[in-house]
Amino acid sequence: LMTINPVLTIDRTKNELIPLPQPDELFYLRRDGVKFDCVLPGSAGKLKASGVCVLSSTRIVFIAKEKTANRADFGSFEIPFGRDVGGLVNPQFKQPIFGANYLQGEVQCAQFGGGTAKASLTFTSGGCDTFLQNFFRVFGEAQLQGQAAPFSAGFRQNPQHTAFVDPNDPSVLYISQPTPSAPPLDTTTTGTQ
């Protein structure tokens, strides 16, 4: 199930907000220049912000930059992959003639009386090929297994053989895992710097 304001921490090496790692979760990449939109079920309204998204072996976490969110109670959003956890369904990549490319999909919501939320990530600066290649591979593995995908053994052993470089794509690949700080942050009042 989706989560509004999942627990965040600070990566000690880069001094950036990251999701607090879950057991056996590994991060693939961080993508700046992302606009997030979500229509919540029922009369719960919408969430909108600009920021970064982090792609891991189990989920996508969007982290809003300070003062860009349309609601004071919104700082981050988690979209899990596994079918068994009410994760992302029907992801579609769209390339409109006018406007930026975006990834959209639906995710189950336990908050706001339940139902389905419709979310999209719009890539507002540079290419998005690196993100998409990694996302569709991880998401496909999760669907085959019915749960979140484990980190690919090939990537863990030989990351230099799987990194894709596009000079127009601002994605940052994690070759080593970020080092979270302790304690986790209160994400209802925190955005990225």
Give the Cβ contact number of residue 190 at 10 Å.
17
Predicted pLDDT of residue 92:
95
Please report, in tens digits, the pLDDT of each residue of the chain (193 residues total). Answer: 888 999 999 988 889 999 999 988 889 999 999 999 999 998 889 999 999 999 998 999 999 998 899 999 899 999 999 777 778 989 999 999 998 999 999 998 877 778 899 999 999 988 888 899 999 999 988 877 765 445 444 444 444 444 445 667 778 777 778 888 766 666 554 444 4
Q: Are 19 and 54 in contact (CB under 8 A)?
A: yes
pLDDT for res 191? 47
Q: Which residue has tokens 């593995």? A: 141
Instruction: Give the span between the Cα atoms of 26 and 3, in whole angstroms.
Output: 19
CA 142 and chain centroid, separation: 15
Q: State both tokens at 1.
A: 């199930």
What is the predicted pLDDT for the residue at 60?
A: 96
| Residue carrying structure tokens 């769209």 | 94
- pLDDT given for residue 155 in this prediction: 44
Q: Vertex 21, ends 16 and 26: CA angle to 5°?
A: 95
Tokens of 130: 């690196």
